[in-house]
Amino acid sequence: MTTLGEVLRRQALRVPAREALIFGERRRTYAEFDAEVNRRANALIRAGIKKGDRLALMSTNTDDFAFVVYAAFRIGAVFVPVNPRMAAPEVTYLLDDSGASAFIYHPSLHEVASRGHAAATRPPAVFLATAPGDVPADITTLAAEETTDHPDVEVLESDDAEILYTSGTTGKPKGVLLDHHRVLWDGVNVDLGCGIRDGHRMLHVAPFYHSAELNLFLLGGVMVGATHIILPAFDPTAVLDAMETERAAVFFGVPTMYQMLLAEPTFGTRDLSEWSIGMFGAAPMAPSLIERLVKALPGVLLYNLCGPTEAGPGGVALGPEDLLRKPGSNGVAFLNTEMRVVDADDNDVPAGETGEVILRGETTMKEYWNKPEATAETMRGGWVHTGDIARIDEDGYITLVDRMKDMIITGGMNVYSVEVENALAAHPDVLDCAVLGVPHETYGESIVAVVTPREGATLDLETVKAHVRTLLADYKAPHELVIGEVPRNPSGKIVKHELRAKLIAQ
């Protein structure tokens, strides 16, 4: 039996002088990392946070993010990451739904965090910034007054560790509940499955609030005493600079990031000799781009990872030996995971046929937070029903071909069309609307809004974007606007396949 907080403590005892966190000019060893986590954990206890309380964190990628998440684990609080690009109403929903007792935010997000906090039904009693700034109070200042003693809180491997929010077809996010055991196995699976080993130097640029970067790479990296090089946001030049100067060996990114790295003018002149493992996921990568990557990075083992948050995240993977042999495939079940492709009655489909991908293993969720009906529907028979439609071949490899859940993946970010449609429908000049994704060369999919204006009204793309951004994260705003009728079947449902085909043909 162990816990996420205990894993960090053991690394601090095993390799105390090894660099653990690098963020800008700040560099912390594992001993310093562990000590700072204890200070913040003790500050949270003094502020009134108890085992089992939910702690929400809204932050960009910083070393402070790591301090707060491990402080939560160390006192048995349930960590709730909040997308830092969310609008205030979205923040309020997450605070209310999770019942958070603490809300911690990056100082640059003070305005939206304050509005989201103030509108909550029961605003979290502990409301702090991650660091000093133009804010009323921050956890760094409070922690400086605390000792580095390990908190006297018993935390078990079976205790709840995280609530990770993922949007559903209703447009309202659902909280995926994971305990320490499940998250620990996330790290075990990716470390063993992708060859991440003791002392590897990992570059982090994908957002920490996302389940993959959080559970697989930040928490999974700590399990092997990795050095974490943290960048606040993706910039291709900054990424290549860091890969060179910090001698990074491990990198995860969405396909768009890889495409932009290859297009960076100095890419061919960079010393990337230490880069040995490259992983990508969160969106489909075109076989042509994979071919370019394999050619441009001959010394890098590339892995295509694919799986939903409901599985930890976990799911399927395509390893370097198969990337060119199975073009377009998403792979086979990841380590310690079972995968099947089934029909509507959960019977396995034969090779060459399509069906729904279902998963089970050590990392699959306990439940959706406070949503027993949704849990029962998704976890039928103990298997996560992903809603993804795939074709399975004679070797057991799957290729995703469609999504039962109407989700758009743009630049690696998940956007559910119903959520955007609800936001559009709130505009007084919108009579009817439909939102869907169409293929885009750089971002994977482009968000297209088809809108029927009310009689006498006129709408343009910038007006629609501005409206959506008041209700949703900015990346969920439509990229394109089409004015016209929305096709519906006799029962009133939007005929999206017909609409999508028409838009693609244009």
Does pLDDT of 199 surpass 80?
yes
Which residue among 156, 179, 210 closes a domain? 156
Determine which of 85-94, 118-127, 295-304, 497-506 has the lowest per-residue pLDDT on average.
Answer: 497-506
SS3 226: coil
Residue 441 binned pLDDT confidence (cut-offs 50, 70, 90): confident
Q: Which residue has the tokens 């006129």?
A: 458
The answer to whether position 466 is within a domain reads: yes
Comparing 423 with 72, the larger pLDDT belongs to 72
Distance in angstroms (rounded) separating the CA atoms of residues 320 and 353? 25
Q: What is the mean pLDDT of the chain?
A: 94
Does pLDDT of 438 surpass 70?
yes
Neighbours of 267 (CB within 10 A): 16
Single-letter residue type at 170? T
Residue-level length of the chain:
506
The answer to whether position 263 is within a domain reads: no
Residues 27-52 pLDDT 10s = 999 999 999 999 999 999 999 999 99
Residue 170 binned pLDDT confidence (cut-offs 50, 70, 90): very low
The answer to whether position 179 is within a domain reads: no
Structural domain span for residue 480: 407-505
Distance in angstroms (rounded) separating the CA atoms of residues 326 and 324? 6
Half-sphere exposure of 348 (CA within 13 A, CB side): 11
User: What 3 state SS string does 451-491 have?
Assistant: EEECCCCCCCHHHHHHHHHCCCCHHHCCCEEEECCCCECCC
> Quick one: pLDDT at residue 228?
98
**CATH code (residue 54):** 3.40.50.980
Beta-ladder partners of 173: 167
- What are the phi and psi torsion angles at 74 (to 5°)? -70, -25
Counted domains in the chain: 2
- What are the phi and psi torsion angles at 30 (to 5°)? -65, -35
pLDDT, average across residues 117-135: 97
Residue 168 binned pLDDT confidence (cut-offs 50, 70, 90): very low
Does pLDDT of 501 surpass 90?
no
Q: How far is residue 70 from each of residues 4, 46, 76, 454, 481, measured CA to CA in Å?
A: 8, 17, 10, 51, 43
Determine which of 168-177, 261-270, 277-286 has the lowest per-residue pLDDT on average.
Answer: 168-177
- What are the phi and psi torsion angles at 449 (to 5°)? -105, 125
Beta-ladder partners of 58: 82, 105
Nearest alpha carbon to residue 194 among 311, 360, 334, 398: 334
R_g (Cα) of the chain, nearest Å: 23
Q: Give, for 10, the enclosing helix (H) or strand (E).
A: helix 4-14
Distance in angstroms (rounded) separating the CA atoms of residues 416 and 325? 32
pLDDT, average across residues 235-245: 98
362: tokens are 């050590």
The answer to whether position 414 is within a domain reads: yes
Residue 490 binned pLDDT confidence (cut-offs 50, 70, 90): low
pLDDT, average across residues 377-384: 96
**Exposed, middle or buried: residue 26 (CB in 10 Å: 0-12, 13-18, 19+)?**
exposed
Which residue among 156, 181, 210 closes a domain? 156
> Quick one: pLDDT at residue 209?
95
The answer to whether position 184 is within a domain reads: no
Reported pTM: 0.88
The answer to whether position 220 is within a domain reads: no
pLDDT, average across residues 355-374: 96
**CATH code (residue 493):** 3.30.300.30
495 with 113: CB under 8 angstroms? no
> Quick one: pLDDT at residue 506?
76
Which residue among 156, 180, 195 closes a domain? 156
Half-sphere exposure of 291 (CA within 13 A, CB side): 7
Comparing 437 with 73, the larger pLDDT belongs to 73
> Quick one: pLDDT at residue 171?
57
Does pLDDT of 345 surpass 90?
yes
**Exposed, middle or buried: residue 40 (CB in 10 Å: 0-12, 13-18, 19+)?**
buried
The answer to whether position 253 is within a domain reads: no
Residue 496 binned pLDDT confidence (cut-offs 50, 70, 90): confident
Single-letter residue type at 48? G
The answer to whether position 337 is within a domain reads: no
